[in-house]
Structure 1
Amino acid sequence: MRVIFMGTPEFAVPSLVALDEAYDVVGVVTRPDAVRGRGKRLEPSPVKAEAQARDLRVIEANRITPEVLVVLSELDADIVCVAAYGCILPDSVLAMAPLGCVNVHASLLPRWRGAAPVQRAILAGDERAGVSIMRVVHELDAGVYCAQASTEVADKPCGQLMAEVAELGAHALVSSLADIEAGRATWTEQDASLVTYAHKVEKAEMRLDAADGWLENVRRVQASTDAAPARCVVGGRGLRVLRATAAGESVSAGDVRVARGRVLLGCADGALELLEVKPDGKREMDARSWAAGLRVDQIRWERG
């Protein structure tokens, strides 16, 4: 089977790898090089880097122009596979290949259509997160799906959970293509009454707040990413919280307690224990080491 793959971030890489090992990937479409991470220099997308390492043809495009469409048409693909490409696809792409266009979406549809399904699953306290293999249609993530797979959310950090979901998606995609090619795939319509939307997570949403409960703050830390980190201000100094858990004891909201190597932040209904932090302008460190330099007399914490 001849496959065009479209994807950009790290999440899409396992799907590209699985496709390349199972089928004939005739072209890889990805977003152009951009300033990524902390280096402040142009870098290729994770998908481009993987495709080049595998000696696959790369087409870089922010959108599908008539010129890009000509290139894709000449590849004579049987199917188009998408995983977090980051661009709305025109009808011409959806109808280009005989077997259509399918997407690896990181949620258990119809729950969490949209841009940030894994983060939203964590923030909402979902027990499971997962992936759906769906047909691409005009409406956002509204297509029928032929496969789903899931994993427990538990206390996994967002990065770890996204990596697990990405691997699930890769396996489900390859298996689904075999069923689609053989004409035995079973497609399920989404129940419109169960639809929820995973809007992009804004930085302001991730600010820890003493006026909120400890569970809400723990979930913010768990859902934290470089683009939308969990932050607060302790003693007037900015702090990113990388790992935290329920303290299991009471501390007044807004108070900070450092005792026996533990760092506790008082919330509305309990306390948050910091485990790993990154003070502004400094390296990542365990909370105990960071707290060793604090003067904790009457110190307070607030939103970052």
Structure 2
Amino acid sequence: MPLTVAFMGTPHFAVPTLRALAEAGHRIAAVYTQPPRAAGRRGLELTPSPVEATARGLGLDVRTPLSLRREPDAIEGLRALGVDVGVVVAFGQILPQAALDAPRLGCLNGHASLLPRWRGAAPIQRAVEAGDACTGTMVMRMEAGLDTGPVAVTRETPIGRSETAGELHDRLALLTAEAMVEALALLEAGTLRFEDQAAIAGRTGREPLYAPKIEKNETRIDFAGDARLVAAKINAFSPFPGAWTEIDAGAGAERVKLLRAESATEEGAAGTVLDDALLVACGGGGAVRLLELQRAGGRAMRAADFLRGTSLKPGMRIGGGDAAL
């Protein structure tokens, strides 16, 4: 028989899983998501989360507690649903033990990394930033610890040389949905098996790493670093929050977002433009090819289009100045 599910998720990343569970025939008793947030130019409009908008479109019961940890009535409401399992994908709240225990079979979480590597808030960006060759998504049984539970289903995917975190995000969202549907099918059949993360670490050599959220003071690009890591950082922070540098082509310093790059072997003084197609030398060896950029208030554009409006020539330097974040 199909399972009765309480779904918990908030951003676009969680939407494919919600849709996939509904299409698989599971009964979604309620959807928990973060409350609507202020939006609009004056912050006067309340905008529902992507998960809330999707759930209402599917005719599902939507609940938006500010904090399950601080609202005993919300926990009682979850218990009263009598669900078989809780499914959590990027909910945005740490669940108290009472919430984890409310579903008959516990809670499963879809997490976008190859655990135990990249536990925490920004696993997709940190995997790209570190230059990982591959990443993936895992369905794990939730415990009180942060992303420490045993794993049941895994999907792996390579990370392209100039792939951005945004592109990887969209692919992993679909893989997470696929993995969760498989996990619930196995749970229905009574054949869902888990592997402890310590055993995974011993088998694969993946040591636990924490993936903290991206801070603004990380986003400025320093061309003094190793080219491979500079390119990886640019791709990791694209499209949001966006890595940036300063370019002065004779009309004053201009802050520009760097949205895509790849590393190269050419060398030169850090920050020096090496050719007429935005190859920039890095101090740690090698260079980065800037492939996509965005001016303040403008649209993202390829390097060739960017250069049509900029007198940036070989031998010039970029990355100087102390513009405020």
How does the TM-score come out when normalised to structure 1?
0.92
* Distance in 1 separating the partners of 2:42 and 2:88: 28
Equivalent residue for 2:131, pick from 118, 125, 135: 125
Opposite residue 285 of structure 1, the aligned amino acid is M
Deviation at 1:28, TM superposition (A): 0.4
Matched-pair contact (CA < 8 Å) for 1:256–1:263: yes
State the secondary structure of the residue aligned to 1:181.
Answer: helix
Q: Distance in 1 between matches of 2:38 and 2:273?
A: 37
In structure 2, distance between residues paired with 1:289 and 1:105: 37
Specify the code of the residue in structure 2 equivalent to 1:172: A
Q: SS of the residue aligned with 2:110? A: strand
SS at match of 2:305: helix
| Counterpart in the other structure of 1:263 | 278
1:138-153 superposed matches below 5 A:
138-153=144-159
Instruction: Deviation per CA, 1:192-248: give whole Å up to 9, x if none.
Output: 772111121223223211211221111012111454311111112100011222355
Change (3 A) 1:146 1:152: same
Q: Does 1:291 align with 2:307?
A: yes
Q: Distance in 2 between matches of 1:215 and 1:42?
A: 42
Secondary structure class of the residue paired with 2:256: strand
Query: Which deviations, in whole Å up to 9, do the C-alpha atoms of 1:134-182 show, x marking residues without a partner?
Result: 1111111111111111101123211111111111111111111121232
2:294 matched to 1:278?
Answer: yes
**Structure 1 CA distance for aligned equivalents of residues 240 and 165 of structure 2:** 12
After superposition, residues 225-264 of structure 1 pair within 5 angstroms as: 225-235=238-248, 236-257=253-274, 259=276, 262-264=277-279
Shift of 1:258: 5.2
Are positions 1:60 and 2:47 aligned together?
A: no
Gaps of 5+ in 2: none
Tell which deviates more after alignment, 221-230 or 21-30: 221-230
State the partner residue of 2:32. Answer: 29
Opposite residue 60 of structure 2, the aligned amino acid is: L
1:219 paired residue number: 232
Shift of the alpha carbon at 1:292?
2.5
Return the letter of the residue paired with 2:122.
A
1:178 maps to which residue? 185
Work out whether residues 84 and 104 of structure 2, in 8 Å CA contact, stay in contact via their aligned partners in 1.
Answer: yes
Structure-to-structure mapping, 1:36-51, within 5 angstroms? 41-51=45-55
> Which is richer in strand?
1
Task: Quote the residue 1:196 is aligned against.
Answer: 209
Query: Against the structure 1 CA distance between its residues 286 and 296, is the aligned structure 2 distance closer, same or farther, given a 3 Å change threshold?
Result: same
State the TM-score, normalized to the length of structure 2.
0.86
How many angstroms apart in 2 are the aligned matches of 1:160 and 1:282?
21
AA partner of residue 124 (structure 2): V
- Any idea what SS the aligned residue of 1:196 has? coil
8 Å Cα contact 1:106/1:131 also seen in 2: yes
User: Is the CA contact 2:10–2:34 (under 8 Å) kept in the aligned structure 1?
Assistant: yes
Instruction: Report the Cα distance in structure 2 between the residues aligned to 1:38 and 1:11, rounded to whole angstroms.
Output: 25
Task: State which drifts further: 78-87 or 225-234.
Answer: 225-234
1:101 aligns with 2:107: yes
Q: Retained in 1: the 8 A contact 2:121–2:212?
A: yes
Displacement after TM superposition at 1:108 (Å): 1.1
Task: Give the total of aligned pairs.
Answer: 302
Q: In the TM superposition, what is the alpha-carbon distance from 1:38 to its structure 2 partner?
A: 8.6
User: What displacement does 1:47 show?
Assistant: 0.7
- Deviation track 1:255-280 (CA, whole Å, cap 9, x = no partner) reads 23552xx1222211232222221112
Contact 1:257–1:296 (8 Å) recurs in 2: no
Q: Distance in 2 between matches of 1:278 and 1:38?
A: 22
Name the SS of the counterpart of 1:186 in structure 2: coil
1:165 aligns with 2:135: no
Q: Which moved more, 1:265-274 or 1:76-85?
A: 265-274
Letter in 1 for 2:8: M
User: Which amino acid in the other structure matches residue 190 of structure 1?
Assistant: Q
| 1:90 correspondence with 2:90 | no
1:115 paired to 2:121? yes
State how far apart, in whole Å, the 2-side matches of 1:160 and 1:296 are.
29
Taking a change above 3 Å as real, the CA distance of residues 299 and 37 of structure 1, as seen in their structure-2 partners, is: farther
